[in-house]
Structure 1
Amino acid sequence: MKRAAMGLFATVAVLADTGAAAAQAAAGSEQIAITTPPAGSAQWVADRSLGRVLPDPATAAPRDVAAFFASLTEGDVDRLVTGYPLVVGNLDGVPPELRYRANRLAVAAERDRARTQAADPKLTHAARALAQARANDSDHLLERGRQILAFDPRGRGLVSEVYGDLASAQRVSVLVPGSEADLGHFDQAAEPLRSPAGMARALYEEEKRRASGTRTAVIAWTGYVTPVGLGPDAVTSRLAEAAAPRLERLLDGLAVTGRTDAPPTLFCHSYGSVVCGTAAPAIHNGTDVVVFGSPGMGVPDASALGTGVRVWATRNPSDWIGNVPYLEVGGLGHGADPTSAAFGSVVISSAGASGHNGYLSPETASLRNFAELGLGHYDDVRTAARRDGG
């Protein structure tokens, strides 16, 4: 009880942090989760121009979406892609190549909209600067060769990208990022491993290096609204609960549009491990879930995640997340430490990794282990000692 009380105090202290700023953080950094289909969905549902009912983006199962698109003519497909790019580009079950086409249109439209705002003299300087940043971020996604699997400009912007040939991949890995992942932070040139795109590229290149004969694909999935900073969202599961069904739909879609030999491997960083923990009971049997820099998975131990997943966990000694209390009291906190002896995960080495974002740095044991897990080379994974306590 003493330890729990101390941990709760520490959690509250993190929230308070700068004293008078606590109220501002509570009001200013709280995010609005996106749980509804993208813009254009209502018009899509009402559209009868093909003489048939279109699958409802809010309710249609990915397998039904896949069957619907397989039945269309090339002309029908073109009409839907060009008429409803945001719907097609975000609809799990649509073949990846069609989603890439649709999202190029959606991203270009958002870039042009933002450019118009940036040039509007009636807006404030700050508003024009924000619009220009959005235009630049969107423009980067249109660079040659990029495969945007999902794009939604609402709020801070959701974006997911594929590295490799998703349709033919034998092994697929999905990177689920943590706090402050959004369109503006999706791909950072200065510190790439602080961004979902940079982490996913590092994993993809390592998988290719270790098994050049295996067709692999890695998805950087920023498909949910993430917490910002260390405010209330970071220490509750509210955003993870909104994200979990979206992750489950992604995995269901991959199951009907790909040719993988095994379920995708999930790599869950920081708050992303709370998302993976929330989604775990609905995940297919045999799925590997790798958590790193985790504040907890929202459960007391691995058995509470259900029988469908195998949990692998790591945390390097210099990662500040280790100072966060591993408990859950009154809705604050995310439960036990996944690297603890009592949790029941396989603890893997992250030797050479430094800090909260260094797990995919070159020559680290964690990067090598992640690649081996993504490839299904379990005998080549280097384990590490579990931590004492919870």
Structure 2
Amino acid sequence: MRRYARTLVAVALAVTVVSGTAGWASGNAQQAVTGPPPGTAAWRSDHALGRELPDPARDTPAQVARFFEGLSEEDQQSLVTRHPLVVGNLDGVPLELRYRANALSLKDSHDPRYAHLAADDHRQILAFDPRGRGQVAEVFGDLRTARQVSVVVPGSDIDAGTFDRGNDVYGTPAGMAKSLYSQTGRGSAVIAWAGYTTPVGVGMDAATGSLAEAGADRLTRFGDGLAADGVPTPAVFCHSYGSVVCGLAASRLRATDLVVLGSPGMRADTVRDLHTDARVWAAKDTSDWIDDVPNVEFAGLGHGADPASREFGAHRVPADDAHGHTGYFAPGTESLHAFAAIADGTYAEGDAR
């Protein structure tokens, strides 16, 4: 009973700290975007090729990949033109077709939120889903020739409009991915994956796991799609609420490494509870406000143990010079140096500069 009471107090404290730290956001609950890509109904009814197209809801990325391998280039391009939103978001479709499909979808979009994504013809947009607040994935580098691949999974307040915003650059998926790619360079590729509905502000969505559960399913399928297209197994970097997504996906996610930074918890008590073969790393700067949030999980609130604690069992990444909650990928930091070495498989705990 005493332990129960302590837990209740910790949860109440967590709410109080979050309210005082970042402002409790009320009335902005988010509805997770789930299910097959937009345009699926028209895709399913299309029999122009004389054969049934893969079902975006039922078929696996491996089945999708096999279907496209059996098509002529003309038929592939025909599907891109007729169904860009499906082709651009369907895991298992070859990379080059997804890039072209998403470029078409962005040019056809009249939503000003996405104008910045369509402005540069050289961007490699691997996913673009305009539903809700918009979801995007972008590739930096050449996935076809990369020997090492990384995926960046962001936290709260990220969508198509804030994917690459100009302020707080290293708190955005594009900013984090660009910074990591600048360190890993040739022979590598980094994917900024904002492919799930993130919480807005610090409120109930951020304190619970419902959006993370939906995001974990989407991240897992995304990883399966990369594998189906022959992309090397990636190291996955998970920031803030993104680490909750990664924790829930861990047992199913194809990854060489899971790296969490500024994490409120992974919905697990220890690394063993993640049931992953990936190496697990954790970074937390002492000036990060997330350090003030008690690591509890009770009645659906909170995300559990601190991955940066000794008891959790993750390998530690130095982050003393990463200032605040979004400074981990800032140029010149020990954390960025370590992330790049983890990405190329050469880092061992204690290798800080």
Q: TM-score category by the smaller chain?
A: over 0.9
Structure 1 residue 287: Cα displacement: 2.3
1:268/1:291 contact within 8 Å kept: yes
Check if 1:197 corresponds to 2:197.
no
Root-mean-square deviation over aligned CA pairs: 1.9
Structure 1 residue 382: Cα displacement: 2.9
- What residue in structure 2 maps to residue 350 of structure 1? 319
Structure 1 residue 17: Cα displacement: 5.4
In structure 2, distance between residues paired with 1:54 and 1:354: 49
Given candidates 239, 243, 257, the residue that maps to 1:269 is 239
Given candidates 9, 12, 15, the residue that maps to 1:9 is 12
Structure 1 residue 9: Cα displacement: 1.1
Check if 1:80 corresponds to 2:52.
no
Structure 1 residue 153: Cα displacement: 0.6
2:245/2:266 contact within 8 Å kept: yes
Structure 1 residue 42: Cα displacement: 1.2
TM-aligned CA distance change 1:50 to 1:79, over 3 Å: same
**C-alpha deviations, 1:72-96, integer Å up to 9, x for none?**
1122112100110000000111111
TM alignment of 1:128-277, pairs within 5 A: 132=112, 134=113, 137-208=114-185, 212=186, 215-260=187-232, 263-277=233-247
TM-aligned CA distance change 1:242 to 1:165, over 3 Å: same
**C-alpha deviations, 1:84-131, integer Å up to 9, x for none?**
000000011111111000000111111xx23xxxxxxxxxxxxxxxxx
Check if 1:318 corresponds to 2:287.
yes
Check if 1:94 corresponds to 2:93.
yes
In structure 2, distance between residues paired with 1:139 and 1:259: 27
Greater shift after overlay, 313-322 or 58-67?
A: 58-67
Structure 1 residue 48: Cα displacement: 1.2
Amino acid at match of 2:243: S
In structure 2, distance between residues paired with 1:83 and 1:381: 53
**C-alpha deviations, 1:281-324, integer Å up to 9, x for none?**
1124x621000000000111111100322210010010000001
TM alignment of 1:258-337, pairs within 5 A: 258-260=230-232, 263-284=233-254, 287-337=256-306
Structure 1 residue 168: Cα displacement: 1.9
Return the TM-score normalized by structure 2. 0.94
In structure 1, distance between residues paired with 2:40 and 2:307: 39
Structure with bigger helix share is: 1
**C-alpha deviations, 1:346-385, integer Å up to 9, x for none?**
111113110000001111110000000011113486369x
Number of residue pairs aligned between Structure 1 and Structure 2 = 349
Return the TM-score normalized by structure 1. 0.85
What SS class does the counterpart of residue 267 from structure 1 fall into?
Answer: strand
In structure 2, distance between residues paired with 1:378 and 1:62: 31
What SS class does the counterpart of residue 156 from structure 1 fall into?
Answer: coil
Identical pairs, percent: 51
- What residue in structure 1 maps to residue 331 of structure 2? 362
Greater shift after overlay, 215-224 or 140-149?
A: 140-149
In structure 2, distance between residues paired with 1:339 and 1:52: 52
Structure 1 or 2, whichever has the larger Rg, is 1
Check if 1:105 corresponds to 2:104.
yes
Name stretches of at least 5 consecutive residues in structure 2 with no aligned partner: none
